[in-house]
Amino acid sequence: DVKVTQSSRYLVKRTGEKVFLECVQDMDHENMFWYRQDPGLGLRLIYFSYDVKMKEKGDIPEGYSVSREKKERFSLILESASTNQTSMYLCASSLVRDRSSPNYGYTFGSGTRLTVV
Amino acid sequence: AQSVTQLDSQVPVFEEAPVELRCNYSSSVSVYLFWYVQYPNQGLQLLLKYLSGSTLVKGINGFEAEFNKSQTSFHLRKPSVHISDTAEYFCAVSARNSGNTPLVFGKGTRLSVIA
């Protein structure tokens, strides 16, 4: 099975800190995504990447940046954490060439619950 | 661009009763459709998906969904719910015409099964 691993399950950071959230997938997926989940708002796309060093803004990129230096790793960066970035962050990946197969889908990590104090 | 509307934010239902969670989508292109479930303090788990073929899709845990292209809907159903089905359910779509397309989610429906 494809695995998407997020490095931390829970994280507490102080306002103004630079925060790195790491995501690694082990099945050579081209696409990787970062979502933010908040009660009543569902999952909102922050950034996604379809190749190494490529990135696209999602719906809510403000206050975030990303890095994809290797195909298997996609990092979300909070340059200066703020309390309104307290949330659950979910990473996902998908395989482009699977699109015509019954196996096509998106695989999610377990999430990182970030609290900024 | 795509958008998803889950018509009910909360659905309470008695154990062993049937349930329907409603999902409508908007898209200018053909889409793939997904339902995910999230149990308390856990990540997202795929319930079922519609890629092509039969419009009635069966998933895990006795759930099924029907794709209705004319009504742009993908409602989720279960004939008899259990306490263990208490969770949050998310409907999602992705564009069929591109390999590099993210999932777009609805805001979720919280299903509460009452004993």
Encode pLDDT of A57-71 as tens digits: 999 999 999 999 999
CB contacts < 8 A, A to B, total: 55
Task: Please name the member of A43, A105, A111 whose beta carbon is closest to the beta carbon of B90.
Answer: A43
Cβ of B7 under 8 Å from any chain A Cβ?
A: no
Give CA separation, A76 vs A55, A73, A111, B77, B90, in Å.
11, 10, 12, 36, 23
Confidence of residue A100 (pLDDT cuts 50, 70, 90): low
Task: Please name the member of A42, A106, A111 whose beta carbon is closest to the beta carbon of B108.
Answer: A42
Confidence of residue A27 (pLDDT cuts 50, 70, 90): confident
Q: Do residue A30 and residue B46 have CB atoms under 8 angstroms apart?
A: no
- Domains of chain B, CATH where assigned: 3-114 (2.60.40.10)
Low-confidence ranges of chain B (pLDDT < 70): 99
Cβ of B22 under 8 Å from any chain A Cβ?
A: no
Q: Do residue A108 and residue B42 have CB atoms under 8 angstroms apart?
A: no
For A89, the domain range is: 4-100+107-116
**pLDDT higher than threshold 70 for residue A98:** no
Confidence of residue A99 (pLDDT cuts 50, 70, 90): low
Task: Name the percent of chain A lying above pLDDT 90.
Answer: 76
Q: How far is CA B113 from the centre of its chain?
A: 17
Closest CA to A83 of A36, A15, A21: A15
Task: Name the percent of chain B lying above pLDDT 90.
Answer: 81
Q: What CATH number is attached to the domain comprising A59?
A: 2.60.40.10
DSSP state of B100: S
Mean of the pLDDT values across residues A43-70?
Answer: 95
What is the pLDDT, as a whole number, of residue A97? 67
As a whole number, the mean pLDDT across chain A is: 92
Supply φ then ψ for residue A78, to 5 degrees: -100, 105
Q: Do residue A105 and residue B99 have CB atoms under 8 angstroms apart?
A: no
Encode pLDDT of A1-12 as tens digits: 668 999 889 999
Encode pLDDT of B39-67 as tens digits: 988 889 999 999 888 999 999 999 999 99
What is the pLDDT, as a whole number, of residue B105? 95
What's the domain count of chain A? Answer: 1
Name the burial class of residue B24, with classes exposed (0-12), middle (13-18) and buried (19+) by CB atoms within 10 angstroms of its CB: middle
